[in-house]
Amino acid sequence: MTVQRLSPEILGAMESAVGQNGIATNPAGMAKYLGDWAGDYRGGALAVLRPASVAEVQALMRLCNEFGLGVVPQGGNTGLVSGAIDSKGGLVVVSLERMNAIRQIDEENFTLQADAGCVLQAIKDACEARDCLFPLALGAQGSCQIGGNAATNAGGVNVLRYGMARDLILGLEVVLADGELWSGFSGLRKNNSGYDLKQLFIGSEGTLGIITGVEVKLFPKPAKTDTAYLGLASFEAAIRLFNRARSDCSDLISAFEIIGSECIELARLIDPAMRAPVSAPVQVLIELSSSAAVDLNGLMAGFLADAMDNGLVTDAVLAASTAQARSFWAIREGLVEGQAKRGYHVRTDLSVRISDIPALIEQARRFVANDHRGWIPLAYGHAGDGNIHFNVLPPPELAEHEARARGSEIVAGLYEITVGLGGSISAEHGIGRSRRKEFWVGLSPAHRRMVAALKNALDPKGLMNPGCLLPSTEGLP
Ligand SMILES: Cc1cc2nc3c(=O)[nH]c(=O)nc-3n(C[C@H](O)[C@H](O)[C@H](O)COP(=O)(O)OP(=O)(O)OC[C@H]3O[C@@H](n4cnc5c(N)ncnc54)[C@H](O)[C@@H]3O)c2cc1C
């Protein structure tokens, strides 16, 4: 049975655990925590709890365990699949925002330890000040938290070179569903002793415990970065270019983003003065970086001259300054924000083998053109990782409720195409509440049994983020 409201006894105990500043139960105090970034979801909660220390998280989890209260962990609330928002409302939200300290930077070991609520940008800035690099980079880095990045196994624009959050995390500190603390920091890069438990929590989207601390790997800070914005005739040409870039530019490529020209209009919704530096149906943003004294400029120029000579690239602009490189990235970031400004739209996060990207986009475009006339397809993404966001805007005149109904059909069609190509319906955003059904249906019986066994072992009462990622505890095999 869903709890309708918290008794004075529970509220009192929670207030003693986190102090008056750490609890909100009135609509105004909770509002900020109950709506998502894209404006797609509106949730409810019995209370929003904001612990300021690991001990406070433990105290809260002991209370929730004792009183059988479901818990939604929340980081920066920038997730795009409704993992940190629950619409039913019989749960408490635990926001990590007050736990935002960088605990330690060890330049000799190239490691950093931080509270889970530390904003990603703050970590990147602190590293930069010490001549180190933490390479996780995404459009939401000014708001998302390192704990949220771990819980969603975030990707972003530098995966190609440095991997996803899973590859960057050395250790986690987690408060389990019953309040017990597991501290898995070691500073070790090699630790081959049994099950690697941190990997269970990475990508678990708050369903196994609350991450309170994260230990990550650092890298040498690039001394030089070269960025170019390219025009190409087709997505096929873009994938051929990527393959050449991999061999011609060695392992110095740090980003390879693909943008269908139809996306540029969206970036202009954020800044009407924004102009793409090239005019071509497919555009590529490529970045090379190195911490050593390598002639990056020469490498990029030679590679581009070659690609233009053999007709792969039709137009190219090499950034002449950091400001110009930033203006290229502003187009990539602006188009994501522009979609949100446009209102409801179909949003996907698809992954296929890199060589299948042109087929995915071609089949998806054909499906929209044939079955959903008037809808506007957009294709862009981290092509170097096989990750395409194939999104679809409704015709402007369509009422939102009609668009939403049709949108579910479109999503189903796009997932069918992706699965048909052997791909995944979630490349980097996770499953959350919005992709839960498709995720669960797609698992084999053996996979489901293992997932259920892990969930039952770590969260036997089903209190951790119920409704997110998995069916309810009763629905598990
Ligand atoms: C403009 C924009 C661009 C984006 N670009 C990218 C991108 O390139 N790549 C990418 O991967 N994602 C991207 N995202 C999605 C999002 O930023 C990431 O998923 C991010 O990692 C979420 O972090 P958060 O702190 O905001 O987590 P939240 O949104 O608060 O939570 C996400 C999930 O993690 C759980 N969670 C959060 N904190 C904890 C914790 N401490 N312990 C346990 N569980 C927790 C929540 O319960 C929820 O299930 C983008 C989002 C936006 C708005």
Residue 233 contacts residue 261 (beta carbons within 8 Å): no
Report the C-alpha gap between 173 and 180 in whole angstroms: 11
Establish whether residue 154 lines the binding site of ligand 1, counting it when its CB lies within 6 angstroms of any ligand atom: yes
Whether the CB of 145 sits within 6 Å of ligand 1: yes
CA-proximal residue: ligand 1, atom 9 (nearest): 156
The two tokens of residue 445 are 């019986």
| Predicted confidence (pLDDT) per residue in 335-382, tens digit | 999 998 888 999 999 999 999 999 999 999 999 999 999 999 999 999
Cα gap 190→304, rounded to integer Å:
39
Residue with CA closest to ligand 1 atom 46: 84
CA of 315 to the centre of ligand 1 (A): 35
| pLDDT tier, 182 (very low <50, low <70, confident <90, very high otherwise) | very high
Strands 224-232 and 219-220: unpaired
pLDDT digits (tens, 9 = 90+) for 40-50: 888 899 999 99
Measured in Å, residue 152 CA sits from the centre of ligand 1 at: 6
Residues 6+ away with beta carbon under 8 Å from 171? 113, 184, 185, 186, 187, 198, 214, 215
pLDDT digits (tens, 9 = 90+) for 50-70: 999 999 999 999 999 999 999
Give pLDDT, residue 15.
Answer: 97
The verdict on the CB of residue 76 being under 6 Å from ligand 1 is yes
Expressed in angstroms and rounded, the spacing between residue 79 Cα and the centre of ligand 1 is: 4
Q: Is 148 in the pocket of ligand 1 (CB under 6 A)?
A: yes
Query: Over the chain, what is the mean pLDDT?
Result: 94
Is residue 428 lining ligand 1, measured as CB closer than 6 Å?
A: yes
Which two three-digit tokens encode residue 205? 């989207």
Cβ of 204 closer than 6 Å to ligand 1, yes or no, is no
* Calpha distance 179→455 (Å, rounded): 16
3-state secondary structure of 102: strand
Going from the Cα of 77 to the center of ligand 1, the distance in angstroms, rounded, reads 6
Residue 266's nearest CA partner among 140, 391, 428, 156 is 391
Distance CA 423, CA 212 (A): 33
pLDDT at 5 (0 to 100): 85
Amino acid in the structure at residue 17:
A
Backbone angles phi and psi of 421, in degrees to 5: -90, 10
Contact between 155 and 427 under an 8 Å Cβ cutoff? The reply is yes
Average pLDDT of 261-266? 94
Single-letter amino acid code for the residue at 298: G
List the one residue out of 178, 286, 176 whose CA is nearest residue 238: 286
Residue 298 tokens read as 């020469």
Per-residue pLDDT reduced to its tens digit, 419-451: 999 999 999 999 999 999 999 988 999 999 999
| Model confidence, pTM | 0.94
- DSSP per-residue string spanning 292-359: S---HHHHHHHHHHHHHHTTS-SEEEE-SSHHHHHHHHHHHHHHHHHHHHH-S-B--BEE--GGGHHH
User: Which residues, other chains included, contact 30 with Cβ-Cβ below 8 Å and sequence gap of 6+?
Assistant: 24, 45, 47, 48, 93
Please give the average per-residue pLDDT across 206-219, as a whole number: 98
Q: Is 156 near ligand 1, meaning CB less than 6 Å away?
A: yes
For residue 39, pLDDT beyond 90: no
Answer whether 205 contacts ligand 1 (Cβ < 6 A).
Answer: yes
Q: Identify which of 54, 61, 78 to mutate to test ligand 1's pocket (most ligand atoms within 8 A of the CB).
A: 78
The residue to which tokens 């962990």 are assigned? 73
C-alpha closest to that of 414 among 344, 469, 349, 468: 349
Q: Is 261 within 8 Å of 276 (Cβ atoms)?
A: yes
pLDDT of residue 471: 82
74: Cβ below 6 Å to ligand 1?
Answer: yes
Q: How far is the CA of 204 from the centre of ligand 1 (A)?
A: 12
Taking residues 260-266, what's their average pLDDT? Answer: 94
Rounded to whole angstroms, how far apart are CA atoms 213 and 55? 12
Per-residue pLDDT at 1 exceeds 70: no
Contact 185, 151 (CB under 8 A): no
What pLDDT score was predicted for residue 3?
A: 64
Nearest CA to ligand 1 atom 21: 149
pLDDT for res 95: 98
* Ligand 1 pocket check for 465: Cβ under 6 Å: yes
Kindly tell me if the per-residue pLDDT of 250 is higher than 80.
Answer: no
SS3 9: helix
Ligand 1 atom closest to residue 75's alpha carbon, by position in its atom list: 30
315-338: pLDDT as tens digits = 999 999 999 999 999 999 999 999
- From 50, 144, 173, 329, give the residue whose CB has the most ligand 1 atoms within 8 Å, as the site to mutate: 144
Which whole number is the average pLDDT over 166-189? Answer: 97
Scan for tokens 């708001």, then name that residue. Answer: 143
Is any ligand 1 atom within 6 A of the Cβ of residue 385?
A: no
Under 8 Å between Cβ of 75 and 144: yes
Whether the predicted pLDDT of 293 surpasses 90: no
Distance 82 CA to ligand 1 centre (A): 10
Ligand 1 midpoint to CA 78 (Å): 5
The mean pLDDT value for 16-26 works out to 96
